[in-house]
Amino acid sequence: MKAALQQRALELGFDDCRITSAAAPQSAGQFQNWLAGQHHGEMAWLERNAEKRVDPQKVLPGAKSVICLATSYQAEKPSSIIHHPSSGQIARYARFTDYHDVLAEKLKNLTGFVNQLGGADTSSLWYVDTGPLLERDLAQRAGLGFVGKHTNLISRRLGNWIFLSEIITTLELEPDAPEKNHCGSCTRCLTACPTNAITAPFQLDARKCISYLTIELKGSIPLELR
């Protein structure tokens, strides 16, 4: 059953598919402390659904497994940014059709396949940046990769440039082995961050992050951060 699911995921265009249980994520306490420190800025929705993020059973009662999926957006150009003739620099992932739309169709298809495997009593929900799951924690526990000091997931095979998505389901599947952290003594991400948003290893202050300032706030970057 698990092998059939993973094969179907690859056929649909996902680059990796791993399984973990629907148990509470290990980083639940760290996430709650992060919220308490107001490091999420004005992303109030993170607080509103915090209870679900630390307990997958509140997302889908009776959930047994979480199917964690990775889709690479690696391109041939070695730089993580390109220059647009009129708009300056554009992030690599923004060069393509909105990944939410692209992955949604694949996830709907794969979720239907999961429900067929489990039978009539199986219930499943899919998410791509849209659900209250601590997806990086779950992805590491499923073996997709490890959470680096920059707080993002790193796949040893696919690298950093991956989209994460999940299917939480009442179907019980054999979990994969978790991935170990491989950062070692490296601190290159802390040094590279242009706004010092990575305040310490594995700690991010979203209020300083360019992505937060330009996407979540939909506003201009403060002069001191330009």
Asked if 121 is an active-site residue, the reply is: no
Minimal CA–CA distance to 215: which of 46, 53, 42?
A: 42
The one-letter code for the residue type at 195 is T
Rounded alpha-carbon distances, angstroms, from residue 156 to 19, 33, 71, 147, 162:
17, 29, 14, 11, 11
Active-site position among 129, 137, 176, 205: 129
User: CA quadruple 144, 209, 188, 151: dihedral positive or negative?
Assistant: negative
The total of other beta-carbon atoms located within 10 Å of residue 183's CB is 16
Helix, strand, or coil (residue 193): coil
Whether the CB-CB separation of 175 and 169 falls below 8 Å is answered with: no
Rounded alpha-carbon distances, angstroms, from residue 213 to 8, 43, 104, 217, 223:
38, 11, 26, 5, 12
CB neighbour class for 164 (10 Å; exposed up to 12, middle 13-18, buried from 19): buried
Helix, strand, or coil (residue 58): helix
Cα 194 from Cα 226, distance rounded (Å): 9
Q: Cite the active site residues.
A: 129
